[in-house]
Amino acid sequence: MKKDFLCLSDWTASELEAIFELCRDLKAKTKARTAHRLLEGQTLAMIFEKSSTRTRISFEVGMFQLGGHALFLHSGTTQMGRGEPIKDTARVMSGYCDGIMIRTYSQAAVEELARISAIPVINGLTDLYHPCQIMADLFTVIEHKSNYRDLTYCWIGDGNNMANSWINAASVFGFELRVATPKGYEPDAEVMARAKKAGAKILYTKDPAEAACGADVLNTDVWASMGQEAEQQEREKAFVGYQINDELVARANDDCVVMHCLPAHRGEEITDSVIEGKHSIIFAEAENRLHVQKAIMATLMGVNRCS
Ligand code: CP
Ligand code: NVA
């Protein structure tokens, strides 16, 4: 049976750790320019209903390095944009391609696509989750710190798709996660309830200073995600005090790392000086999108693919 990558909590910690192991190997081979054509002759369809820099480039370059090919499909220039049902698109793509990566709004639509497709589907971001990003983030933490499961992670800002995926990660891996958001911008209530029921160690607070105190990993994201552009001004007011700046970083552990999935609004959710500062691992994090997604694709689509 094929397996999809839609949500971190569909996977066990040991399955995700196997992806990190493969990622380490593929990254070393990429740096050494050693061939690793695990997806020779395969094609990934990449459906985008939202903008992207990192996701598009890293999947496309990743497929090329694995010996395959990636098709960039903007929904507005396909029949999907004219209303062709997702279930028909899924069947047609299953006849041409070996995998699908989709970036869209609705998690339910991605789940429907995966249910009907005969080929693996990867979630490249929905309003609810961004699982590939969290895999890259955790791999980056592993590279910079030992015992990543014993660290204290901290989410400051909007309770958005990134925050929801961090909550899932805390549930799967068992690390401590503190989440600080303003009132009205909490993470998805069902995601939080499921994680807590599964025993996840999550502290929710409205106070960013409390969340950051003694933390090992500080993480944030834009205050208005794609699709929320009209709320930008209202959100800027609601999120005053939720910026990752030098003062907040000083509350965390001395050897803490700061992450941001990018794109960032410098001077809003994070300052220029923190992005460029000694705690930032933000650009290593961005590069690791390439390596971790290659490992995800090889796991789902390769000859030794999981079932
Ligand atoms: N972090 C991330 O997904 O970036 P893009 O929107 O540029 O793909
Ligand atoms: N939360 C952001 C992440 C962008 C990578 C968004 O959904 O726009």
Residue 168 lies in a domain: yes
Residue among 103, 127, 135, 161 whose CB has most ligand 2 atoms within 8 A, to mutate: 161
Q: What is the pLDDT of residues 236-254, one digit of tens each?
A: 999 999 999 999 999 999 9
Q: Do 116 and 197 belong to one domain?
A: no
Residue 306, domain member (yes or no):
no
State in Å: Cα 57 to ligand 2 middle.
16
User: In terms of domains, do 115 and 142 share one?
Assistant: no
271 touches ligand 1 (CB under 6 Å): no
* Residue 306 confidence (pLDDT): 56
Distance CA 302, CA 307 (A): 11
Co-location of 101 and 219 in the same domain: no
Contacts of residue 32, defined as CB under 8 A and 6 or more positions apart, other chains included, come to none
DSSP string across 101-163: EEE-S-HHHHHHHHHH-SS-EEE---SS--HHHHHHHHHHHHHHSS-GGGSEEEEES--SHHH
Distance from residue 100's CA to the centre of ligand 1 (Å): 17
Q: What is the pLDDT of residues 73-82, one digit of tens each?
A: 998 899 998 9
Whether 43 contacts 98, CB under 8 Å: yes
Q: Give yes or no for residue 257 CB within 6 A of ligand 1.
A: no
Which residues form the domain of 268? 132-286
- The reply to whether 57 and 139 lie within a common domain is no
175 within some domain: yes
Which residue is closest in CA terms to ligand 2's atom 3? 225
- Is residue 163 located within the same domain as residue 118? no
Do 177 and 271 belong to one domain? yes
Q: Tell me, yes or no, whether 139 and 268 share the same domain.
A: yes
Q: How many domains does the chain have?
A: 2
Report the nearest atom of ligand 2 relative to the CA of 225.
8
Q: What is the mean pLDDT of residues 158-166?
A: 98
Residue 232 lies in a domain: yes
Ligand 2 centroid to Cα of residue 123, in Å, is 13
Do 136 and 85 fall into the same domain? no
* Same-domain pairing of 294 and 279: no
CATH number for position 36: 3.40.50.1370
Indicate whether 85 and 208 sit together in one domain.
no
In a domain, 245, yes or no: yes
55 lines ligand 1 (CB under 6 A): yes
| Cβ(261) – ligand 1 distance below 6 Å | yes
Asked if residue 307 is part of any domain, the answer here is no
Residue 95 pLDDT greater than 80, yes or no: yes
Q: Which tens digit of pLDDT belongs to each residue from 25-68?
A: 999 999 999 999 999 999 999 999 999 999 999 999 999 999 99
Concatenated DSSP letters for 150-210? GSEEEEES--SHHHHHHHHHHHHH--EEEEE--TT-PPPHHHHHHHHHTT--EEEES-HHH
Of ligand 1's atoms, which has the minimum distance to the CA of residue 125? Answer: 3
Are 259 and 217 spatial neighbours (Cβ–Cβ below 8 Å)? Answer: yes
Tell whether 2 is covered by a domain: no
Q: Are residues 113 and 190 in the same domain?
A: no
278, pLDDT greater than 70: yes
Q: How confident is the model at residue 21 (pLDDT cuts 50, 70, 90)?
A: very high
pTM for this model (two decimals): 0.97
Residue 40 lies in a domain: yes
Question: Taking 60 as the threshold, does the pLDDT of residue 233 lie above it?
Answer: yes
38 and 165 part of one domain: no
Site to probe by mutation for ligand 2, drawn from 165, 222, 228, 293 as the one with most ligand atoms within 8 Å of Cβ, is 222
Ligand 2 mean position to 106 CA, how many Å? 13
Span 25-36, pLDDT tens digits: 999 999 999 999
